Chain A
Amino acid sequence: MIRFIASRIGFAALVLLLLSGFVFTLFFVAPGDPARLVAGERATEAQVAMVRENLGLDRPVIEQYFSFLGRSLTGDLGFSYRNQQPVIQLIQNRMPATISLCIGAVIMWLCLGIPIGIMSARYPGSLRDRVGQGFILIGISFPSFVLGMAALYFLYFLPRQAGLTLFPPGGYKPFLANPAQWAWHMLLPWFTLALTSAAIYARLTRGQMLEVLGEDYIRTARAKGLSERKVIYKHGVRSIFTPLTTQLGADIAALLGGALVTEQVFGLQGIGSLAVQSVQTQDRPVIIGVVMLAGFFIVVANLVVDFLYLLLDPRVRV
């Protein structure tokens, strides 16, 4: 057990190390010249060279990598080329929006997907099931950027032109300042981000539920005289936690990708838009920081999933 945990953590660390190597290499084989970007388009060669030296870009790549590694262990991810802010702080500023978006979306998709999946599985072949399946298919087939644009156009712009304010145009309102405003501003982004995954979860839930409902222990539960509700929600749903948790762990990576698109569409100041912006401006420290952070979250999420497994499934508990 201890060994299992230790080996998982060790592996997580290895993954992060490899990831940092990958990202670093990627940006150092890149022929772009960040010094030129920092120095400005109209700077002279001499000025650019000066900047290059100040950024430490004239040193060997390996040396830069190890100094980066050393610093990042202490939580120092360097400074943005673009606005000289510490990368950590930039990320911190962006965190609330992304976390709000992700957590809200996860909750929303779970709340949409699981009930739909359960309902579909309870009455396979029924009208309800078909409607549920339709939802799943449409959800999976919709590119979220199209969905986001449509949502903004139809739910914000058109009503607003008619003098109605159904939804805000996007932007992030801090949760602590005004929770109601926060939620109101997040609704459309949540929905946009949640739809695809809700569909995937509905599909997964339906499949798992169908399978579980065919298990012998469900028959046992029925034979005990439990009500159908108890059979489904206590015995059935309990068993699909494990696969759902696994899926959730695997989704973190995709979640960040989805968040990126959603943040773009709704102008949320989150990690995703930070990443896009940094890529567009070749702000390497920020890109590396964001990718590492995202990788960190994914790895940690998967660790948590592994440990949740231990909690959820008494069979693997030792």
Chain B
Amino acid sequence: MIETILLTIGFSAVLAFFIGIALAFFSQKFKVERDPKIDEVRGALPGANCGACGFPGCDGYSEAVATGRAPTTKCSVGGSATAETLAKIMGIEGGAAEDRVAVLLCQGAVNKTVSKGQYSGIPTCRAAKLSTGSVKTCAWSCQGFGDCTKVCKFDALAMEEDGLPHVNYDNCTGCGLCVEECPQKILTLVPRTRVGSIVLCSNRSTVKASVIKTCKVGCIKCELCVKSCPEGAITMVNGIPVTDYAKCTSCGICVQKCPTKCYKMLETDVFGTKKEVPVMEEAQA
């Protein structure tokens, strides 16, 4: 018995010693130089692998960042915090990415708009738009099949009873996947801290009557907002009033004047449910 034990110990000791040495040796010898920064960057990324940065997943992006082929601000999921960390790792001054959220530029709920016909076909926005132009009489309206909700990786978009996707601003990371997916291109990314007025309509029709016929909450091109703005911050661009946020003081006059109520305040009407209302003074300054 003692012999067995001794033999075992001797044998295993020799074997293990060699294996240990061999492992250590080979790991040195065959070491492939890999920039430790890649791992560091990878560690700092959120790992959602959403691909919003335009690279194949977080791994691809981290490699691109570490080799200097990509800016540190591309990760919209991680937002500015990640951008700063990455910048720190890469040793450059961080151009912090703006923390943005998606906003739907259409209020054309099912009861506010007129449908063009009885659509039957593949129930996706893209297919419906391709086959019918637009399922609603407004060619710029939300198609309401929720393509955007299907691509959202963060559970931030949901179709609700009114037939429109609603953004949950707590979850939205501003990755922009929905913006890209929307065939109508009526989703846009707005900085989370932005304040001021915004028109929630994309109808670019120049024929006033047609807007009135098609939608109860569409911009009818009355230009009351443009005329009423004391700061002159609103101009019509391509058939749609656009607010210049450098001038906008969030006075709310345009919102009051708008006859179809398609003008909204970002801080109260759009992000309304959000608790931390952005600090106004800061934005003004």
Q: Do A and B come from one complex?
A: no
